[in-house]
Amino acid sequence: ASNPAIAVSRDQRPAMLIGAALQPDQQPARWDAHVAGYERVFEPLTDAFAARALAMLGPLPDLALLDVAAGAGGAALLAARQGAQVTAVDASPAMAARIAVRASQAGLAVTTAVGDGMALDLPDGAFDRGLSCFGVVLFPDPARGMAELHRIIRPGGRAAIVTWTQPHRYELAARLRAATVAVCGAPPSGDLPAQLRFIDPDRLRGLLSDAGFRSIAVETVEAALHAPSARELAASLAFAPGMAAMLDALGSDRHAVLEAFTAQLLADGHTGGVSLGAVAHVAIGDRT
């Protein structure tokens, strides 16, 4: 069984919450309301990228692995099933609690913790492997998060992180944007999502290199988001704080946009199940 969620932050005010102008997805407290939706709708897609990252990390039996910004625990559970001794950290208490429940139900020994990935209260060199799927790249200070991941890995260990790339091929977002333009005459407003800061492979390599990692490799991985139907997917799009905020910003146009989104999926042949493509980069580096 997994351990109860425990505090694992050096600062009682997580660095993610310090400062202004944080995007919704960068505010851990907002994620508490999206645990079930994220796990059901989006985690199967992120698990496909996580599976590749774990494969690149090499055989995992008996290795200590830290999963930073672990979400609802999909990647952590995959690693535990491969024999890793997993510690999963997330800044959302509800996410960390959900990981503990899922691990216990699966009979997996996963240590869960509530903590800030930019200020981990964990010893230097305590882990053999590190992982962060769409986590470090979302932090307000990703360089600090990457440096922390480097610090907690022992010399000779390695870490892998996952980030988005080729956003034009993230079909869910592209279709929702097209539906918004069709109804409102303009795309959704707002800043570029923080998750897209490292779509360029050279910049991604630089993030790892600047933290001290060496022998860095970046691999492009394609996967798909699946849903039972177009209408069910449209009803489930508020699976993350950023998506929920964007839909809320549509105001009275929200229903029409979702109807346009659904109609276009059906027109394109998604009359049964839906499968929408996405592309990510998996970057891996060694701790020398």
29-59 residue pLDDT tens: 999 999 999 999 999 999 999 999 999 999 9
Comparing 4-8, 131-135, 175-179, 201-205, the range with the smallest average pLDDT is: 4-8
Residue 131: per-residue pLDDT: 98
Which residues 6+ apart lie within 8 Å of 110 measured at CB? Answer: 2, 3, 73, 76, 77, 80, 86, 87, 88, 99, 100, 103
pLDDT more than 90, % of the chain: 90
Asked if 276 and 225 touch (Cβ cutoff 8 Å), the reply is: yes
pLDDT band of 146, cuts 50, 70, 90: very high
Q: What's the full length of the chain, in residues?
A: 288
pLDDT above 90 (res 171): yes
Asked if 62 and 129 touch (Cβ cutoff 8 Å), the reply is: no
Mean per-residue pLDDT over the chain, rounded: 93
Nearest to 83 by CA among 105, 102, 100, 61: 61
pLDDT above 50 (res 272): yes
- CA–CA gap between residue 136 and residue 67 (Å, rounded): 10
pTM of the model: 0.92
Residue 141: per-residue pLDDT: 98
